[in-house]
Structure 1
Amino acid sequence: MTDGRRSPTPPIESWWRDGTVVAVAFALCLLGGALRVDDTVTPPPLTAYFLAAVSSGLLPARHRAPVATVIATTVCGMLVAPMGLLSTPLMVAPTAISAYSLAVRAERRALAALLPAAALLVAVPPFFETDFSWADTSRLATVAATPLVAAVFGRSTRHRQAYLTVMEERARRAEESRDEEARRRVAGERLRIARELHDLVAHQITLANAQATVAAHLFATRPEQARTSLDELVGTTRHALDELRATVGLLRQPEDTPDTSALTEPAPGLSQVPELLSTFHRAGLAVSMHEDGTARPLPPGIGLTAYRIIQEALTNVTKHAATGGAEVRLVWDRDHVTITVTDNGGGARKAQERPPGYGLIGMSERAAAAGGTLVAGARPEGGFRVSARLPVPTAGRTARRTDGATDREGR
């Protein structure tokens, strides 16, 4: 992919190209010098060799000084008739080549130099031809039109080069945009996996710690219950290892779009909250749940967000609150569901003494991604509160969205 600028031509290649152009122009001038008015061909005179050598030798300067080269070659073309040669397009081949180079490199204003040059090529020769007739008009018009036609081709080449440059730049920007979008998507997916890793594994490790604490406490007095806690601890750690292995395996995939189906199918929702609460009960945290309003099914994304917020909030209670109880409350209204998790422990004071952890940050990010809000902080009466307000699509909007998806699939 180029950067829109023409790379400089290597010197050797430039010499060969200029040498070829000069040789071709010299040969054309000599061929034109051999032509006569009666359409016969004779050996070119010495004046033809001289004029061809001078006009062709000026062509290498067309890269550095295109306007001056056009003027110089035009002057040579004006000398064709005074030197006793026939004015033909072949004799003005160097003028046509320099006009082409000028049109490729110069702006439109500089092309005005071609008009007086063409006029001079037309006006001068008749004064030096003794038997000039109107039959020679077409020939002289062709001579005058030769540099103009060359300039038209040069201008077309300039436009084509500009068009190709623009298209290459657009292709480069489109490729960069695709790469940037791909990197952004990969980064977002990795962040989502990292958030899942924290929510899943941290929850299991916290439960394992609580179960181990309960087993150690009951080991001497109630060994049977301690054995039950240890059995639950084994299951919890096994599940945590499975979650960790699956998530780390996703992160190690070399592809840009890792398959996260292991994390999202099936996606937990509010229907799995009672089972979640039972795991905390077995870990020694008494959790009560209350609902106000009419519960409605949530879309999978919002349901997963609600589940993870409850999970993380209760995990924080287990880790930091130093209390044996917590409360989960769901309040349903027309467009939103409010999830509130409260406790009466001492975690609020500890939270004020340290910066927000990944748990609170992850809950806030989840709520914002779902179109909701989350507020967490100490309660005036003591303890800590996490409150999330998530949108609940109405039946009409859900139906329209479903119909739209069906229509797209049909198309």
Structure 2
Amino acid sequence: MATFFLVIIYLAFISLGLPDSLLGAAWPVMQKDYGVSLDTAGLLSMSMAGGTIISSLASGKVIGRFGTGKVTFVSVLMTAVALLGFYFAPSLVWLFIFAIPLGLGAGAVDAGLNNYVATHYKAHHMSWLHCFWGVGATLGPIIMSQFISNQQSWRNGYLTIAIIQFALVVVLFLTLPLWKKAGGTGTDETKEVPASTRESDEPLKKENPLRIKGVKLAMLSFLLYCGAEAAAGLWGSSFLVAVKDLPAGVAAQWVSLYYGGITAGRLITGFVTFKLSNMALIRSGLVISLFGAVLVFLPLPSLFLLTGFILIGMGFAPIFPCMIHETPVRFGKEHSQAIIGYQMALAYTGSTFIPPLLGLLAARSTIGIFPYFIAILIVALFVCSERLNILMKKGILFKGTKRNTTAI
């Protein structure tokens, strides 16, 4: 049953990924249809992520009251209805209205499932979990690009994704009894819990998680990473169309390869975790993504440009799941749900404000700043990550409990 339960969680993460990359892929066409400015996509993205911040902050209480299964089912249903709303939206105002439930549908299930896997499964499961998010994020622009290229219809792209979401809703509804048997938020697979998180957490039970050394730095890391990932996905197509003169359909396909890089990278990372620690994978990913950003802003042939987008995605691949999986190791299982909730809130804060910031700067200058902006975020994230590694090596994270920093 535990394996089948994990498959359901993977399916839920496909549903999380499907809508995330749609707006960026469709925006060059949507912008013309609605006759609005380039940076309006940033405001829409902000509306979605704002809803997700609210639901992720409330995730602990909501999941505690209703259970992970019901929260996941309702969240995916909200997402499906919102995507259907995008298909019917007669004006820009309606896009903003439906952006709210689209964001609310993601937060609670995201934080809940991330914490469940971080505390009950080894690092490769976390990478593969987010690989399935990448499957959804990759399929989104691929589907959208087909409708844009063949029919110039972004609406049918949204309709198709909505139908897929409703199919996942049916699967989740039929498997609700499985969540009840598993206790809503966990199973008996304690053998999968990292050894370092099973040690006594007694000294930390009364401590405010936000006052634990390194927590705020970890939260900042999530803000920077998700801001960079979302900005690359949202503005990649616009950069390729405006600066590199690619057709909108081709640009959407190239952005799908960016998400494909994330997906493939997380699949590979799941196997690499048997040999390398989370910290080593985060460091390697940052170096690869920075190299990809350099390829994008250098005046090189199109093949190098495409390679750059793929490398940015592959470099990003291990960062988020490895940072999530390190949370109970760094700060203790006792506080992991609360801290992951805070981290997810900061992650979506990054998704909310950083892409619009890039859009605002681009509207006042040129979208050509896109690769430089992404590179700056990667460098800032590298600094934060290395600072956390230093604190961990000094043994001052998670005071009161013996540390185990070896690879899981």
| TM-score, length-scaled by structure 1 | 0.23
Greater C-alpha radius of gyration: 1
Q: Greater helix percent: which structure?
A: 2
Could you say which structure has the greater relative contact order, defined with CA pairs below 8 angstroms and 6 or more residues apart? Answer: 2
Q: Greater strand percent: which structure?
A: 1
| TM-score, length-scaled by structure 2 | 0.23
